[in-house]
Structure 1
Amino acid sequence: MSGIPKTPPASNEIEVTLFGPGKGESILVHVGDGDWLCIDSALSERQSIPLAYLRQLGIPLDKVKLIVATHWHRDHVEGLAELLHCCPSAQFVCSAALRAAEFKQIVARFSSQDVGGATPPLSEIRKCFEILAGRKKASLVGYVPPIFAGANRLIASYKSSNGPIVIQALSPSDEDYLRALEAFAGYFVPLDQSATGLPSVDPNHASVVLAVAIGGELLLFGADLEVTSSVHTGWRAVLASKVRPQQPSLFFKVSHHGSSNARHPAVWTDMLVPDCFAAVTEYSGSAIPNEEQVNWLVGQSSNVYATGLPQRTHVRRRPEIEKTIREATKDFAAYRLPTAAGMVRMRRVVGSGPTWTVESFNGAMRLV
């Protein structure tokens, strides 16, 4: 992480740092008093991005208090087990759907070494639970059990020098939980059949949205929650909730890489301050956010930042393969991953107003 200032945030500063390696994301939040929250995990050059950043700032890893896996997809869990292993005081948080028997069955069925593409994400989740089980068995001092998040579940609440810290899950709703289990059950492969790969569960009903209050100031982290046709699921359920925090948030981590299927105008008008500071990571494999999605985000706020945008690249292929691709699709393009993870870092003193000091690194930018 060359070129990134190594000065850690002050005790009374909030920091939100978003990393985007082109296919994945990880977020670090300094809530004050040297305490940190990590949301999701990603790799860059085979290294854990949040671990590398914390070490570069000289942050003791026992100051990481929470590690949250918003969902189990590969682009949000790579390096998660290493992160948990290196942060002995961290409490692990994941969706309640991931402790259900239906999910355990597909983990057991699809996380062996001969599975193929489904191995990495499921193996990361399994390793995390193995680490926790080992800590419990060893009766390690400071061991804390995992928290299984659902809508309106209180994750953490304590006092700090900056005021109360309150972390609450806003999803998945009860109906999202049931639909996630239905999806998991539908993907199970009988033992007498070959398990050659697990497709993504779409829409992502198990995703965990977080509201983080620091001294009464609210931050919203949208994970990959999507908008559905039902008021009982996804963003519609969050918006309809009467017990979620009703104050507007000062920051928004844009959900699902800015994808159109995750945007709801009422999130911006009802849950965020006007002209809210926000950040989004790109997903190069799906070429999002695309130009239309960027324009939509800019229409919601003039303070939206991206860790990067998908960059087209030319892939050399044999002429007959190029011809087949042209005949099969009119809009095929390859996108390259950045050489270093883009990074957006926002800092502000608690109680100083809605403005943040923003720094961008490795191709990150303000969207205009």
Structure 2
Amino acid sequence: MQELKQKPLKIISDGSKLIQKPQEDEIEISVFGPGYGESILLHIGMNKWIIVDSCIFPGETNPAPLNYLKEIDIDYSESVKVIAATHWHDDHIKGLSKIFKECRNSEFICSDALKCDEFIELIQVYSDSVISENSGIEEFKLILNEMQERQKKRKNNNVPKFAISDRLLWQDNFEVKGNSIKSEIFSLSPCDAAILSAKLDITSLLPSEGANKRVIPQIKPNHSSVVLWIAVNNFNIMLGTDLEEEGNPYKGWSVIVNSTTRPDGKASFFKIPHHGSKNGHHQEVWEKMLMQNPVSVLTPFARGYKLPTLDDIERICSNTSYAFATGSPAEQKKLKRSNVVEKMIKEFSGQIHLINPSYGHVRYRKKLNSEESSIELFGNSVYLCSVSKEEPIDNLKDIESDEIPYIRKVEELVFWQNIHRQQRRAMQMQEIIAQYNEAIFDTDRDLALQVVNDALEKGISPEDMVFKVIIPAIEQMVKSISENFDANLAQHFIASQIAAEVTENMIARFEKKPASMGNVVIGTAEGDLHSLGKRIVIGCLKTLMIDVFDIGVNVAPEKFVDEAVARNAQVIGISAMMVHTARGENGCLKVREILKERGLEGRIKIIVGGAPFQFDPELYKAVKADAWAKDGITGGKIITELIKEVKS
């Protein structure tokens, strides 16, 4: 049997075309993804629309599909015929109750797993709780309330259509320009075993009598997830939602692949499940249920562990040349750094371009009686397969090959090469950062060094390793200790020592040797034998290109000054872990006195740190220091400013 193949796509990346509505004989599939959440909007012809799930873009108040329909001048109150909630997790349902309320001519579809007393009880238990605000539970409560209102007004049985394996949920027959159109929506999941598991999961979420209500966790795997199959004549669409493959023949994708009662045919469009992760992959889905080279779209997951990974992308693009995403998986917030660090980053690494996770929209359109189709990319949406390629395509002959058949112009090629070379490197850096952070949080020095060495072998520059991996990792560690309380001092110590070791090694490999920011002499006050805090600070300072001279513990005040003069240091750092060594006459007070006697107060500044200063942040003034720091990163920033002050 001849393999079914997709016709070449036409790609458009022109934002001015966004507000053009589809023609009455044109299918449209729009996938929206802000980095957390997703929504799918479908036009099946004759101004009939279907909305699957909901998300709200950052800075917006209305759900993405409603905003878009308004932009293209569609009266969604009458035109939206079906609204489906594939599951009740927050990232798929945010704003869905507003969609259902506004689209008053619509039917509602949800998982059969939610047709149980336990889920209704869960809604009732949390209905008046602050915990439920802005949650999937709250959205479902509002949807059920709207259904009750519709029943009162229309005197009809307005109830959800519950999705279960291989069920016809909705159909419509109509004519477009003299052609008969038959449209159907089938659910391919959840199966019977998954429904039972989902009900048990929901039961486990109910608080026991007298227990405090807690934030409702997302249970994995998601047994209640609904996979939809939408057929418009002979054009098939499969929306994979968040269904996972468990390796169990009675659950997940295995049940769907092996079903003998699911709809016939192969899908030309595939919404890739579970953000492209390996947990949502089943190879036989690609081989048995999809045409060759199906148009495939995913929404990335930009919280916590980023999805998809490079391995995920390469797996997906080995199955289709037409893979797209609503945003780059490498999205992350920009870290706040001192001006000095930002200056060094620009000097040695150039500009850092972080992908904005605010908005992405992939739009597919196809005439009902034509094989021609197009993909339009808006916001931060990307062509995923070029991200997976290490080497760019370099000549027109390659452009016209089957590998990327939709590219027709040399300028398009150059544009995509440049964009996706940056995106691939950004994703690669994101994975390296995650691996390095995991290693230092586990205090695994050997693994951290292996991550660094592997990164260098992949072509990551020593400069990038220091400024984009090592320094941010230390900053994250400090934040974890001081704000999130999910790391401890021992982890901070190991991280700082690894950072110092790696930084020294990387600096030796810099193309342009960095100039030292300045010199610091650091030691523990006389009578104090503690060294842990001091060593943490030293490790952090070395990553900031500051030359540090450690003069040990139990240091006499005269030695602090003598060493500072000998090393041409701009700053003396004094660590004191006990109150009497912090306040004592042979501590900072004496060092200040000696500096004054020798006329060095303008040339050398003093910074202090340690437990006594944590308990009393004003103590540094009493001992006549110029500043104090609560941790190594803060100390580095303050010392940098003190050095600049001395040198000015």
TM-score between the two structures when normalised by the length of structure 2: 0.52
Which of 71, 82, 85 is 1:56 aligned to? 71
Listed one character per residue, the Cα deviations across residues 317-338 of structure 1 (whole Å, up to 9, x for unaligned) are 99xxxxxxxxxxxxxxxx9862
Listed one character per residue, the Cα deviations across residues 113-137 of structure 1 (whole Å, up to 9, x for unaligned) are 3326x75110001100110111101
Counting only pairs closer than 5 Å after superposition, residues 113-262 of structure 1 correspond to structure 2 as 113-115=129-131, 120-139=135-154, 144-161=158-175, 162-262=180-280
What is the aligned residue count? Answer: 347
Which of 347, 351, 361 is 2:378 aligned to? 361
Listed one character per residue, the Cα deviations across residues 216-253 of structure 1 (whole Å, up to 9, x for unaligned) are 21110011000012111111111111011131101000
Q: Structure 1 pair 127/287, CA: closer, same or farther in 2 (3 Å)?
A: same
3-state secondary structure, aligned to 2:154: coil
* Partner Cα separation in structure 2 for residue 226 and residue 110 of structure 1: 27
Residue 344, structure 1, aligned to residue 358, structure 2: no
* Partner Cα separation in structure 1 for residue 101 and residue 276 of structure 2: 31
Listed one character per residue, the Cα deviations across residues 285-329 of structure 1 (whole Å, up to 9, x for unaligned) are 0311121111111111000110012313343499xxxxxxxxxxx
TM-superposed CA distance for 1:11, in Å, is: 1.2
Q: Which runs of 4+ in 1 moved over 6 A?
A: none
Residue 313, structure 1, aligned to residue 333, structure 2: yes
* Partner Cα separation in structure 2 for residue 119 and residue 175 of structure 1: 30
Which of 301, 305, 308 is 2:320 aligned to? 301
Which of 90, 104, 115 is 1:99 aligned to? 115
* Partner Cα separation in structure 2 for residue 132 and residue 41 of structure 1: 18
* Partner Cα separation in structure 2 for residue 3 and residue 363 of structure 1: 15
TM-superposed CA distance for 1:112, in Å, is: 2.8
TM-superposed CA distance for 1:27, in Å, is: 0.5
TM-score between the two structures when normalised by the length of structure 1: 0.90
Q: Does 96-105 or 271-280 show the bigger shift? A: 96-105
Q: Does 189-198 or 248-257 show the bigger shift? A: 189-198
TM-superposed CA distance for 1:139, in Å, is: 2.0
* Partner Cα separation in structure 2 for residue 176 and residue 264 of structure 1: 17
Equivalent residues of 1:112, 1:119 under 8 A apart:
no
The share of aligned pairs that are identical, in percent, is 31
* Partner Cα separation in structure 1 for residue 207 and residue 356 of structure 2: 33
What residue is the counterpart of 1:329 in the other structure? none
Partner AA of 1:193 in structure 2 = A
Partner AA of 1:253 in structure 2 = K
Equivalent residues of 1:37, 1:66 under 8 A apart:
yes
Equivalent residues of 1:288, 1:309 under 8 A apart:
no
Structure of higher CA gyration radius: 2
Residue 71, structure 1, aligned to residue 87, structure 2: yes
3-state secondary structure, aligned to 1:313: coil
Q: Does 46-55 or 156-165 show the bigger shift? A: 156-165
TM-superposed CA distance for 1:207, in Å, is: 0.5
3-state secondary structure, aligned to 1:123: helix
* Long gaps (5+) in structure 1: 319-334
What residue is the counterpart of 2:100 in the other structure? 84
Q: Which has the higher strand share?
A: 1
Equivalent residues of 1:113, 1:119 under 8 A apart:
no
3-state secondary structure, aligned to 1:76: helix
TM-superposed CA distance for 1:66, in Å, is: 0.2
Q: Structure 1 pair 233/200, CA: closer, same or farther in 2 (3 Å)?
A: same
* Partner Cα separation in structure 2 for residue 201 and residue 3 of structure 1: 41
**C-alpha RMSD of the superposition:** 1.9
* Long gaps (5+) in structure 2: 1-14, 339-353, 387-648
Q: Structure 1 pair 119/307, CA: closer, same or farther in 2 (3 Å)?
A: closer
* Partner Cα separation in structure 1 for residue 68 and residue 207 of structure 2: 40
* Partner Cα separation in structure 1 for residue 17 and residue 140 of structure 2: 30
Partner AA of 2:114 in structure 1 = L
* Partner Cα separation in structure 2 for residue 47 and residue 3 of structure 1: 22
What residue is the counterpart of 2:417 in the other structure? none
